[in-house]
Structure 1
Amino acid sequence: MFNIILFGPPGSGKGTQSEKLIEKYGLKHLSTGDLLRSEIASKTPLGLEAKNFMDKGQLVPDEVVIGMISSALDTNPHVPGFLFDGFPRTEAQSEALDKLLKLKKTEIGVVLALIVTEDELIKRLLNRGLTSGRPDDNNEEVIRARIVEYHQKTSAVAEYYKQFDKVVYVKGEGTVDEIFELLTSEIDQRNQPVTQ
């Protein structure tokens, strides 16, 4: 099993690249936001616990999120790997995820971080704002704040995985296919080719 964490600031093309990677490698997309919504909709014990925190305006504790990830791993034993999206966001979450994966006899294979200049991100997001209808894509000040927050949150995770030599910075500017080529080249170097 080959597991990937894909990082990228807002506007870096992470969503587009995630879809292409999932398709190419047959990975299971693990978005914590989707997991939360699914567990809540299914009224599972973890979902009800998470809803309780969210209804109070509190963050869902790491243990609950890790529990949901554990459940997702157990219900997908035959996938060639997982693509983690939106998690981990802190060093503590990274450690908890590694501990869980070790229990499941797997690990994170690579952490791919898309690098895009701030000017390019702002240009892309303002452009996206013209069609997305998302108010946070229309305001340059809000966009800059989101980029700063992204760097503050994810730098701890990158630092954590650097000690295991798992972090690769990939240029996130160019055509979608050029960027995809860079990402797949990094994955293929670390992983025996999986089902194409």
Structure 2
Amino acid sequence: MRIVLVGPPGAGKGTQAAFLAKNLSIPHISTGDLFRANISQQTELGKLAKSYMDKGELVPDEVTIAMAKDRMEQPDAEHGFLLDGFPRNVSQAEALDQMLQAEDMKLDAVLDLEVPEDEVVRRIAGRRICRNDSSHVFHVAYKAPKKQGVCDVCAGELYQRDDDSEETVRKRLEVYHTQTEPIIDYYKVQGLVVTISALGKVEEVTARAMEALSRQAA
């Protein structure tokens, strides 16, 4: 299957993408991973992307599109892929359509993870990270540490990242609504959008997604 995964920040896209890609035996292609890989390997696209990032500018669509195209042409993506973070806007969605059409391919589904805005804010703004080890992550409501402000694993100080503040989260949601959400309408016209609730336990959301995708593929 060839799938695009969409949803607001805090919807659990990364977590669901990993589970779905494993269940469907297709590669999980994340924009973040693409950027990191190209920059660390110092590819021409990576150097170009870094030149914009170092100036604090957005990487142009054509660079992101070229990275995605290169990754989708790898042998492991021959029979399908799950795109996470791409396309991010309608221009990228149109470019993806053109890429696939040139190869006589098409998308099978656009999986839209739906989460109420207040829940997104609650999920992200409640996160607390350990200063000693950023892999130690807690949540004031869903995974509270035994002692407030102290990491259960190493007793390090827990803090809230600047980009996890409620004000920043709401700004990120605004960007999502204006830039990324329009691709849902773009794909609805093609009959590709499958919307599911991303509320509940991770495995419940995964099961819901798998069932919705199997219906779409039928």
Question: Gaps spanning 5+ residues in structure 1: where?
Answer: none
Residue of structure 1 in register with 2:195 after alignment: 169
Which shifted more, 156-165 or 128-137? 128-137
- Tell me how far apart the structure 1 counterparts of residues 76 and 101 of structure 2 sit (CA, whole Å): 15
- Selected match of 1:136 from 137, 143, 163: 163
Residue of structure 2 in register with 1:74 after alignment: 73
Segments ≥4 residues shifted beyond 6 Å: none
Larger RCO: Structure 1 or Structure 2 (Cα < 8 Å, ≥ 6 residues apart)?
1
What is the Cα deviation at residue 94 of structure 1?
0.4
Give the TM-score of the pair, scaled to structure 1: 0.87
What is the SS of the residue equivalent to 2:58? coil
What is the SS of the residue equivalent to 2:127? helix
- Tell me how far apart the structure 2 counterparts of residues 126 and 57 of structure 1 sit (CA, whole Å): 24
1:123–1:53 distance in 2 versus 1, CA, 3 Å? closer
What is the SS of the residue equivalent to 1:173? coil
- Tell me how far apart the structure 2 counterparts of residues 144 and 109 of structure 1 sit (CA, whole Å): 31
What is the SS of the residue equivalent to 2:9? coil
Residue of structure 2 in register with 1:117 after alignment: 116
Residues 117-142 of structure 1: per-residue CA shift (max 9 Å, x gap): 122222222332363653322x2222
* AA aligned opposite 1:172: A
Alignment RMSD (CA, Å): 2.0
Question: Gaps spanning 5+ residues in structure 2: where?
Answer: 130-136, 139-158
Q: Does 1:189 align with 2:188?
A: no
Give the TM-score of the pair, scaled to structure 2: 0.79
Residues 9-57 of structure 1: per-residue CA shift (max 9 Å, x gap): 1221222211110110112111122112212222222222222332333
Larger Rg: 2
Q: Alignment identity in percent?
A: 41
1:142–1:44 distance in 2 versus 1, CA, 3 Å? closer
What is the SS of the residue equivalent to 1:4? strand
1:171–1:64 distance in 2 versus 1, CA, 3 Å? same
Residue of structure 2 in register with 1:38 after alignment: 37
- Tell me how far apart the structure 1 counterparts of residues 3 and 54 of structure 2 sit (CA, whole Å): 31
* AA aligned opposite 2:163: D
What is the SS of the residue equivalent to 2:113? strand
Residues 132-167 of structure 1: per-residue CA shift (max 9 Å, x gap): 653322x22222222222222222111111110111
Aligned residues: 190
What is the SS of the residue equivalent to 2:181? helix
Residue of structure 2 in register with 1:51 after alignment: 50
